[in-house]
Structure 1
């Protein structure tokens, strides 16, 4: 056994605070190169946020039929009803909109909702008992004093400013995936809490990198905190923020194969290292 160990020993260098992982020599080189040529996403001029948590989907997430009914009863309803995407609706460079909408009942709307949006208020009134039972609701039965939000409002104190973030171009993705599934949304969709989204600078390039098999393989092997089953990957905010990517890379092509080549060349991969990456993703 001792001879076998001496023959197969691998020297590994670790930085203070870095996760302890056993890597082969080629894996160490690839990880070292992306860290030499990249900057962790948490240092980019971007914001990574979670989508909207309603607290009661049955009340706040509605079908197109209900949306049309509420707008017919009161045209003002359209002002606070917006299309919503869930994690299951998001794919690589595309979405499959399920004709679902969300009532964007932001923090403070309770002061005007009954007078300004009577149809929406009437709809929510039908769920009042369940809405009042949420843990963060003001005046919840059995609780003394004011808590966080009114029963007519979304969970987590969603502000108008938070809703404005959804108006910006943003990268949408779900947390549990088997392959890269990032979508650049420029149509101001709202996303629910099964979706994480990225806003900020250089996201047109960023989405190409995140959707590349090269970067996804690097993330999965070195930064994802372990897999889910045989093929699953958890794209968690705290993990993704540690992923170093080349900030100044301007990807010129939209062709998937050329994008892989541009990224691998930017990271100074040798032919041997490119072959290792390509074998991992095929």
Structure 2
């Protein structure tokens, strides 16, 4: 039962291009439930060890001691009890296959696929598809990680310095992805990505996707030169 309450969580900094490095962090997902979807609220009394941890101060994290119950009872977003958070309308989406990315990035576009039932903190975003179709997610992932898409993002995205971007949701939503063009070719290439070869595979996908957008050789050269470090 504890697995229903304690969920692994990703921070934005954990997300890399085509993967992520989980830092071993967990989220206590004590929520109010969603009556409209038949999700019952979490009763902290069903988890006595966690309730005791919250009541008695918890543990130090990053040099700061969190005060457990004495802190959470004052939260403005508390739920029906001091232990619960208010309802999250998209809570179910964290349990779906999804694309994750960091809001702040210095490594260009770094989108990853998550099948691990991870929660994502407020320094990251998630993207799901209505069908939960893995092929659709992989197809989107290839485009989102491409240099062509990075060039588009670079035109519309807020920069916080010369080498850093903010991939806010409203910017990512503006990107245009062709509907399943060369789907099988792209999926077969994406399926070969590993931690060791992702740079090589990324370059192959960059060329395939640039051709889909009908970029000329001069346009490809300009984009590659402008964003050669990413």
Structures share a fold, TM > 0.5? Answer: yes
Q: Paired residue for 1:196?
A: 125
2:144 and 2:80 map into 1 onto residues whose CA distance is: 36
1:198 and 1:78 map into 2 onto residues whose CA distance is: 23
Structure 2 gaps of 5+ residues are 34-39, 57-67, 191-200
Deviation at 1:77, TM superposition (A): 2.4
* RMSD value, Cα: 2.0
Structure 1 gaps of 5+ residues are 1-75, 138-147
SS at match of 1:219: helix
TM-score by length of 2: 0.76
For the 8 Å contact 1:110–1:150, the answer to whether it is kept is no
Q: Paired residue for 1:270?
A: 216
Moved over 3 A (4+): 108-111
Q: Paired residue for 1:260?
A: 206
Structure number with greater CO (CA < 8 Å, separation at least 6) is 1
Where is the helix percentage greater, Structure 1 or Structure 2? 1
* Aligned 1:1-282 pairs, distance under 5 A: 76-108=1-33, 112-114=43-45, 116-126=46-56, 127-137=68-78, 148-154=79-85, 156-158=86-88, 162-178=90-106, 179-200=108-129, 202-221=136-155, 223-224=156-157, 226-249=158-181, 250=183, 251=186, 252-254=188-190, 255-282=201-228
For the 8 Å contact 1:105–1:152, the answer to whether it is kept is yes
For the 8 Å contact 2:30–2:42, the answer to whether it is kept is no
Residues 81, 111 of structure 1: alpha-carbon distance in 2 compared, 3 angstrom cutoff: closer
Deviation at 1:236, TM superposition (A): 0.2
**Highest Rg: 1 or 2?**
1
Deviation at 1:164, TM superposition (A): 2.7
